[in-house]
Structure 1
């Protein structure tokens, strides 16, 4: 019995190894990747640190192939190292590719446990190679730089906070709400990304319509709520005087109600803003009549801009606010008609905005 115990213990020691061990010295750890083209004719780009002492210096592997898996396999054959995407922080897709069904581009991320699904996902204006092949020195690694850039825009309520490949994949199968993705342009002079706004999707395909930063902020508020901060700037006109006015949105609440009218409906969006005055150089801001005047001005402006944003979404047959989800949850007849997107474009939106200035800064 004693001999059996000794043999068993020795066996455990001998078996205690990492069967799936991967040595970093054999890996090219990809921090950012991009893809463009169409199924059957794809081109991909993978960037990894070229210097062990300086993560800001990167090498880029380009490959062509039929499918996303094919281009990744062929990229592996172009370097002495094995491409490792387990630490991929940012995935870029060319605008032209997003006009196709984008799920096939994402499928490989869900098939392998080593592929991260918390990767940031964005659409680029032009080739993603231009965004990856950056000659200028950056303060951090390329993938980390893009991740932090996108997260900074998220904190300002212009991109949906926390949106990644996992959430994007789930929303592609959501019948009552359409996906939006960060839309990036590029500063040619400084070779740095520019947050243009949001790309609107209809189902799994890019509609070709993008919202600017201002419209994107109102969309994110209505669909996802305020992130860490949200600011609005206007020029307040009174008689012949033009005064800068900036408010910081402290709290935001919304309520959506659908009122059916035959085969269409009215949608009531009621929004409440509690704001702090960040910028307003005129005197007497502490007086109630001045506050009332500014509140009415802000309500009119916000209502107009919200309606403009909704109209752009309707024209693009994109429902990023999730009106369809609410209609389905309430078992509305307009959802049961079976052609929601056609009905969605005919909906009459009524926007009610209430603004309350709760703080006016540290000086009175």
Structure 2
């Protein structure tokens, strides 16, 4: 009886082995790794997109790592990847792709929704990849090789990940956040603009989009105010002018709160409160402790005015990167809350109240 059972087990195992297919595993030396991806509008072609993949080429003991950029024009990223496979000798691996760039001209026309779905469906695309806008094109940014960069695209990783420089002018969204903003009512996408300049790149402005295309570009100062509203980075500087006097405050902590007020029968408004703590980093002349209150009041007036102007610009463009609409919907539980918000948002007023505390004059006495 035991022999019959054993023989039956062996027969079953043999049959299972016959129907199982190979797992398709390839050794690491037979793979070529993508570190960043660029999507541009295809020029002088009937195709829609120009897809660029930046591959890392491992160096030897005496040679540094290098990179290879391969581009292909196609109507979809799936088609482009299949064609790029015919141009390289190894299996393409997206497991290390940490930056996805859209060309500025592409976003001016429309957001490539079908490409975003491709990124979401690919299990080997990291959902923690950063997303940005390449200027003048995504390919131009991929070609930049800063002298300080030791690994291909590592300079972008450090800048967007803030493992390197810390600045209020960079607000790097992850892909999962970008994807959520494409579909979430009351919250619109925002993307940092990465501008290629010879052997370096500059990141100090933001592109704001609705669900269809790019609507406006924020200046460096407006990007900083967006950072304040999102409570992303508290370290920055505020320049305050009063006649011939000028001081620059190094902010060490910035905290922002807001409430959406809809009083019955009255004008709805958003009450924004900013609390800033810092010290004087630069001044035309010496600033003593007894004058700190004066400069704090002037700083508050300046901040109230500029923040209100920034919020009104965003409102005028009909975009909502801060998520006012999502906040409103979360506090109004009815079937037409979204329609109500669409009616309210264009007519909202902004009331900004800031509190600036200068804790140190920066002088050595």
Find out whether 1:73 has 2:79 as its counterpart. Answer: no
Distance of 1:119 and 1:280 partners within structure 2: 41
Find out whether 1:219 has 2:231 as its counterpart. Answer: no
SS across alignment from 2:83: helix
Deviations 1:300-352 (A, max 9, x none): 11111111211221121111121111211221899737164453222111111
Q: Is the 8 A contact 1:226 1:252 kept in 2?
A: no
SS across alignment from 1:77: helix
Return 259-268 or 340-349, whichever deviates more: 259-268
Matches within 5 A, 1:130-149: 130-134=140-144, 137-149=147-159
Deviations 1:37-60 (A, max 9, x none): 279521111111234335542111
Distance of 2:114 and 2:141 partners within structure 1: 22
- How far off its partner does 1:87 sit? 0.2
TM-score, L = length of structure 2:
0.84
Deviations 1:213-257 (A, max 9, x none): 2111111211x2042x4212325334xx43342322324232323
Q: Give the match for residue 48 of structure 2.
A: 41
Structure 1 residue corresponding to 2:168, chosen from 154, 157, 163? 157
- Would the alpha carbon gap of residues 56 and 299 (structure 1) be closer, same or farther in structure 2, given more than 3 Å must change? farther
Distance of 2:287 and 2:151 partners within structure 1: 49
Structure 2 portions without partners, runs of 5+: none
Alignment: residue pair count: 347
Distance of 2:203 and 2:259 partners within structure 1: 29
Distance of 2:179 and 2:261 partners within structure 1: 28
Distance of 1:332 and 1:306 partners within structure 2: 30
Distance of 2:104 and 2:31 partners within structure 1: 30
Find out whether 1:122 has 2:136 as its counterpart. Answer: no
RMSD: 3.1
Q: Give the match for residue 337 of structure 2.
A: 336
Deviations 1:262-316 (A, max 9, x none): 59621111222122222336435322xx111110111111111111211221121
- Would the alpha carbon gap of residues 342 and 194 (structure 1) be closer, same or farther in structure 2, given more than 3 Å must change? farther
SS across alignment from 1:31: strand
Distance of 2:228 and 2:100 partners within structure 1: 25
Distance of 1:116 and 1:192 partners within structure 2: 26
